[in-house]
Amino acid sequence: MANRLVTGQAVLSVAMTVVLLAFGAPASATASEGSSATPAGDRLGESELGELLDPIVAAGAPGAAVRLDFGARVQTAAAGQADLRGNRPMRPELNYRAGSLTKPMVATVVLQLVGEGRLALTDTVDRWLPGILPYGDRVTVRHLLTMTSGVPEYLRGRIAIDTFGLTPARLRTWTPRELVALITDQPPTFAAGTGFEYSNTNYVLAGMIVEAVTGNRLGWELTRRIFRPLGMRDTRFPVHHPAIAGRHAHGYSLPVDPQGSIGAGPLRDVTVLDPSFAWASGNVTSDLADLTRFLGALLAGRLLPPALLAEMTTPVDTGDPDASYGMGLEFIHTPCGTVVGHSGSIAGFHTIVLADEDGHRRFALMTNQYLHGPATAQAFNQAALALMRDLLPDTCSSAVAGRSLMARR
């Protein structure tokens, strides 16, 4: 029976949910399911890292790749295919669409502008984008970055179905203002500052504010402020370029019919699309090395002064005691400590990048399939769980292995 397309890239209820559910499973149940997850406190070796990926491919994903970066210790592994038609193996260094990993990058640029005195977190949307929202005088930059604005999600319905389906509409060019216009006739989900809801529209507006403040294209500001200083040579903000530059993996999806129902297969190649539909909410292409480098540099204080990094990493209440959101960053809270990062889902690709709180230990895990079935999601969950445990202190071994950490409500 077909499932309905879940739209909006609601990270806390998509990628993070699967990790939280895996963490919340009793240890005995995890073992009985034949999980390859490494016991908490054990550090993954080269062979174990590769073995984490095999169940993802066995469950139906074309391929998967992982990078684990603990400073002096860097490990990578890959499994399956980067291109099913060309029978080309997946490799950890291939470029791909990183989806919502764009958000912490955009948030970083906004906060840099705050540090330069060119922008304030208390500035309203109307201050920089007059008239774009009927209630723009009540929504601030802080609300946008923390997903507490109440601005509805634009990435629903027809635009989402066209993006994941093999239709000519996948090549449509969108402007940011057109994306926001999709929701301007809707009331806010809640009064700004009174709730939390993951909405990609927040980051489209944030990107537009960057352009209004600087007078430059968002991609240029990302390049000169983040990509170039960090040596992220494989990271780009392509906007209207349907192909992925450089050596890259192809992205695949289960079929989606015109009504938004997800079929059972075969997989469809959705690599070529105009990513302008995602723009500041998910337009970036990158690779695993660049993504882990960015997260490490950000948390180490190389991109923001301490006061602004503290603002970025102060989470807001999401209604879930085990998961919270900062400014473009997701947090998972466990008895063994907090891990921080972001996940990204876009047509053809699914990624999660996490680190310990100071960014010394970090990993990136990707698969070149989205949308995917339950078996693939479960295998991805188990791999993410094992990697997440590897971020936590060795002293937490018994606590992680012996109890249910995160029961979702």
Residues 70-98: tens digit of each pLDDT: 988 899 999 999 999 988 999 999 999 99
Q: Quote the pLDDT of residue 404.
A: 30
pTM of structure:
0.89
Q: Quote the pLDDT of residue 43.
A: 67
Q: Quote the pLDDT of residue 343.
A: 96
**Tens digits of residue pLDDT in 316-340:** 999 998 999 999 999 998 888 899 9
The mean pLDDT value for 345-355 works out to 96
Under 8 Å between Cβ of 320 and 332: no
Spot the catalytic one: 100, 149, 199, 253: 100
Q: Please name every residue paired with 55 in a beta bridge, in sequence order, or none if there are none.
A: none
Backbone angles phi, psi at 294, to 5 degrees: -60, -50
What DSSP string describes 50-98? Answer: HHHHHHHHHTT-SEEEEEEEETTEEEEEEEEEEETTTTEEP-TT-BEE-
The mean pLDDT value for 111-123 works out to 98
Mean per-residue pLDDT of the chain: 87
Q: Which of 19-23, 285-289, 365-369 has the lowest mean pLDDT?
A: 19-23
- 324 among known catalytic residues: no
- Given this structure, which CATH class describes domain 3-402? alpha beta
Length of the chain: 409
**What is the percentage of the chain residues whose pLDDT exceeds 90?**
71
